[in-house]
Structure 1
Amino acid sequence: MREVSLFRLYLLRAMYLLVVVGLGMFAVPSILRHAGQRELAQGIVDAMLLAFWLLCIVGLRYPLRMLPVLLWELVWKVLWLAMVAWPAWRAGTMDADTAENAFNCSLVVILPFVLPWGYLVRHYLREPGDPWRNERTVPAGEPARTVFEG
Structure 2
Amino acid sequence: MTDQDVPLWRLNLLRAFYVLITVGLAVTWGPGMLQHTDPWAQRNGVLGSLMIAVSLVCLLGLRYPLQMLPLLIWELTWKTIWVLVIGYPLWLNDAATPAVTANLYACLMGVVLTPLVLPWRYIAHHYFRKPAQRWR
What is the TM-score normalised by the length of structure 2? 0.89
Q: 5 Å matches for 1:90-109?
A: 90-108=92-110, 109=112
In structure 2, C-alpha distance between the alignment counterparts of 1:55 and 1:115, rounded to whole Å: 17
The yes-or-no answer on 1:17 pairing with 2:19 is: yes
Helix, strand or coil: the match of 1:27? Answer: helix
For 1:13 and 1:29, how far apart are their aligned partners in 2?
24
1:140 corresponds to = none
Which residue matches 1:31?
33
- Residue type of the alignment partner of 1:5: P
5+ residue gaps, structure 1: 134-150
1:110 aligns with 2:113: yes
Residue 107 of structure 1, CA deviation? 1.2
**Deviates most, 47-56 or 115-124:** 47-56
Q: Does residue 132 of structure 1 match 2:132?
A: no
Where 2:59 maps in the other structure, the secondary structure is helix
Give the match for residue 86 of structure 2. Answer: 84
- More relative contact order, 1 or 2 (CA 8 Å, 6+ apart): 2
* % identity of equivalent residues: 40
Does the CA-based 8 Å contact 2:23-2:55 persist in structure 1? no
User: RMSD value over aligned CA atoms?
Assistant: 1.6
Aligned length: 132
Unaligned runs of 5+ in 2: none
Query: Which residue number corresponds to residue 9 of structure 2?
Result: 7
Task: Select the residue among 105, 120, 125 that pairs with 2:123.
Answer: 120
Q: Report how far residue 43 of structure 1 moved.
A: 2.5
Q: Distance in 1 between matches of 2:105 and 2:117?
A: 19
Greater helix share, structure number: 2
User: Structure 1-normalised TM-score?
Assistant: 0.81
